[in-house]
Amino acid sequence: MREAPIGVFDSGVGGLSVLAEIQRLLPNETLLYVADCGNIPYGEKTPEFIQQRCSVMAGFFQSQGAKALVLACNTATVAGVADLRRDYPQWPIVGMEPAVKPAAAATRSGVVGVLATTGTLQSAKFAALLDRFATDVQVITQPCPGLVELIENGDLHSPALRQLLESYVRPLLGAGADTIILGCTHYPFLKPLLRQMIPDDISLIDTGAAVARQLQRLLAERDLLADGPARATEFWTSADKEHFANILPILWNTAGVVRSFEG
């Protein structure tokens, strides 16, 4: 069971940023990744639809013999993680949430900016995070329509992307934010571009590394950490597998075999 794989999924390619953190921390683990690109963005879907997709993903990873599940998507976590933990009580399941707590602890100016999807910012879970951890800081939220779609096409550098990103970052800087939360798994891919736009003393915080650490803790508690060596990472997508294969080297830094996900 220790050598069984770990299943990771997102509505698109953004979860590859989380997958990279898991691979970095747990190099002996074999990873499976499903990009539900045929249904992106989840943020525009109903909670019931997202719950159904989460259930489909869980069933698929069970059929693949996965020993753990990671929801590498804030929107999927908000809608579906509670149901999955109820339906699979013995399965280590790790979800995502915007890094409000560490950002509130890190800020010196007392102003925290949040770049996120509209769905995440409107969710009750995000509101609860603010109520719990951000009572002593000012939080400036910035919805970022359009960013996910550009990153899904492998665009990390174009003038159009830069202009869009600058328009979202400018209000946060103007409000005095010295800490910016990257509240979507796609956004860590924009860190190099963001670093060109913001002063060096502004912190960028995402949750990929924290997810990897939580996964490590849960596996260790159950004596499920693999001894290695890991098998090659396997990829599936519910959209065009050739498109996914073409942008995989851009976002994953290596090529890989991509299969069609029929679920």
Q: Would you call the peptide bond into 41 cis, given omega within 30 degrees of 0 as the criterion?
A: yes
| Contact call for residues 10 and 72 (beta carbons, < 8 A) | yes
Residue 186 annotated in ligand binding = yes
CA-closest candidate to residue 221, choices 94, 92, 93, 96: 92
The predicted model scores a pTM of 0.93
Residue 78 φ/ψ, nearest 5 degrees? -60, -45
Active site residue 184: yes
Peptide linkage before 229 cis (omega within 30 of 0): yes
Q: What's residue 75's pLDDT?
A: 87
185 is in an annotated binding site: yes
What are the 10-residue block averages of pLDDT along the chain, 263 residues in total?
A: 96 96 97 95 86 97 98 92 95 94 95 91 88 93 93 94 97 97 95 96 95 97 94 96 94 92 89
Q: Among this protein's residues, is 73 annotated catalytic? A: yes
Among 3, 6, 2, 58, smallest CA distance to 215 is for: 6
Domains contained in the chain, CATH given: 6-96+208-260 (3.40.50.1860), 100-205 (3.40.50.1860)
Identity of residue 188: P
Asked if residue 229 lies in contact with residue 29, where contact means CB atoms within 8 angstroms, the answer is no
Q: What is the DSSP string of 158-174?
A: -HHHHHHHHHHHHHHHH
The answer on whether 141 is annotated among ligand-binding residues is: no
**Res 187: pLDDT:** 96
243 labeled binding residue: no
The residues that bridge with 259 in the sheet, in sequence order, are 236
Reduced to 3 states (helix: H, G, I; strand: E, B; else coil), residue 203 is strand
3-class SS at 198?
A: coil
Place of tokens 């949750």: 207
Q: Which two tokens stand for residue 166?
A: 């600058």
Strand partners, 47: none
